[in-house]
Chain A
Amino acid sequence: MSNKKTKNLTPIQQQYTALAASREPKRSVVKNCLRAFVSGGLICLLGEAIRQALIAWGGFTAKTAGDPTVAILIALAVVLTAAGVYDKIGQWAGAGSAVPVTGFANSLASAAIEHRSEGIVLGVGGQMFRIAGPVIVFGTAAAFAVGIIHLIVRALLGGAP
């Protein structure tokens, strides 16, 4: 893709894009990874704390505590998004706050808030999945493909489906 793109550029354009690329401020991959590790880890730690609390005091079992934990994390992320804090966290944390379920909640909530001015149906309803939509589409498609492979492998190995 990028090779094809470069081919379409004139030599002067290629020269300039190379110059521009050389002047781009470098992003420290190590620093970004560390931040993502710390922040993503903290979010997961918080989730685990909520889960243990639900098991200890909420009357849930290790099996049933998962769903309410996710729901609480989502609610927290939505509150932080509405308070205008989550995007500040995101700038610092990068993938750390984008990958966990809170990031998904943020993408839905932020789009819903942003497009509220266009009405409930066309604005909130129509635009809510603007960012999260592709994740669901390709997540479902990938799950389907993996499911089929799983079925075939199980059949070949002679196990019960």
Chain B
Amino acid sequence: MTVRRTGHQTFIFDQHPIVRSVATVVGPMEGAGPLARDFDIVHADMMLTEKSWEKAERKMLEEACTLAIENAELQKESVDFFIAGDLMNQLTSASFVAEKLAIPHIGVFGACSTSMASLALGALYIGSGVAQHVLTATCSHNATAEKQFRYPTEYGAQKPPTAQHTVTGAGAAVLSNIGDGEGDAITIAAATIGRVIDMGITDPMNMGAAMAPAAVDTITAHLRDMRCNADAYDIIVTGDLAAVGHELACTLLHRHGIHDAAARLVDCGLLIFDRTAQEVQAGGSGCGCSAVVTFGHLFKRMLRGEWQRMLVVATGALLSPLTFQQGETIPSVAHAVAFCRTTRVQQGGET
């Protein structure tokens, strides 16, 4: 298994780490959305019968992790590392779940880009040969995010049409250097670590606009580093730009002359909800958004043979309630992971 760097910020895997299993857990709003059938567990209660929103978020993450390990036909003892993150201060959801799983853990914060940040790091662990199985996961909960970043959930403030609805959901994936048998599998071909971009947006109710330039920067960097055109991918997916950010990203890509990337650009924040029927303003956001849509929905479509190669660019707005109150602008980051659908003829040497 080898990994090497190409260009400035991309690493390529000569032998692709395999996404051995995935698991997704979502809340009621997501369960009422157009992708409901693609999720493993749909909770009808935002509280998950727990005593606080924070506990509910933790429980979702734990369920996703346990299920992913189960789906991988592994024991948690055979998972080498657990890389996870969330939106809570001090990454409490990830840390508390890591304590329960007792797998060596490192927490990562990339706001809503955490899904791909942790996946890229996990793939790097596999690619470098230090690990055989790595569990990566992330989660977000609408109520905990509202509570920490905005207003109490029941507060009747009107949200502007640029606002986004934080997804209640958790997604986990087990990466391995070997798959669990024959058949088609999703593998990781390359990953691009994004630069932090700040284009001067200050409105935390318009994070799509803040994140769009970061997504475009990472897509541009990825194509430059890989020396390929956007048509090398059947689909390019952004994490949670939603309606406003998606349109801005397309505009910027056209301005950069990357028309074929704009043509195949879709956004998880737009896929997860039906904006005409559900009150989500511009669309979905949060760590859970790109995780559950990619793991639950997009991977299934890839395995059905709709696409061979997919680039997922998870976007994160790196603000805190403190910095925006102090009038700072919103820095953003985007990390990209290139997925391939690989047909395996034979696999052996399972441990």
Interface positions of A (Cβ within 8 A of B): 5, 9-10, 12-14, 16-17, 19-20, 23-25, 27, 32, 81-82, 84, 86-91, 93-95, 97-98, 103, 106-107, 109-111, 113-115, 117, 130-131
Contacts and interface: CB of A to CB of B under 8 A. Distances in A.
A87 B248 contact: no
A123 to B, nearest CB: 10
A43 B159 CA distance: 21
B343 to A, nearest CB: 42
Which among A13, A82, A95, A109 has the greatest number of chain B C-beta atoms within 10 A?
Answer: A13
Contacts of A110: 151-156
A114 B153 contact: yes
Taking residues whose C-beta sits less than 8 angstroms from the other chain, chain B's interface range is: 35 or more
B118 interface: no
Contacts of A9: 200, 329
A32 B158 CA distance: 10
B162 interface: yes
Given A90-B155, A114-B152, A117-B53, 13 more contacts: A10-B200, A13-B199, A23-B251, A24-B209, A27-B160, A91-B156, A91-B158, A93-B156, A103-B156, A106-B154, A106-B155, A113-B154, A114-B147
Contacts of A27: 160-161
Contacts of B154: 81-82, 84, 86-87, 106, 109-110, 113-114
Interface in B279-301: 279, 282
Which among A13, A23, A84, A107 has the greatest number of chain B C-beta atoms within 10 A?
Answer: A23
A89 B201 contact: no
A61 to B, nearest CB: 33
B51 interface: yes
Interface SS majority for chain A: helix
B51 A97 contact: no
Interface of B: 51-54, 147, 151-162, 198-202, 206, 209, 212-213, 243-244, 247-248, 251, 279, 282, 327, 329
B157 A90 contact: yes
A91 B151 CA distance: 13
Which among B158, B209, B251 has the greatest number of chain A C-beta atoms within 10 A?
Answer: B158
A86 B156 contact: yes
Contacts of B153: 87, 110, 114
Nearest to B199: A16
Nearest to A91: B158
A3 B154 CA distance: 35
Contacts of B53: 117
B280 to A, nearest CB: 11
B248 A20 contact: yes
Contacts of A93: 156, 158
A23 B209 contact: yes
Contact of B152 (A12, A17, A97, A113): A113
List the 4 closest pairs (A to B, CB-CB), nearest first: A90-B156, A13-B200, A114-B152, A117-B52
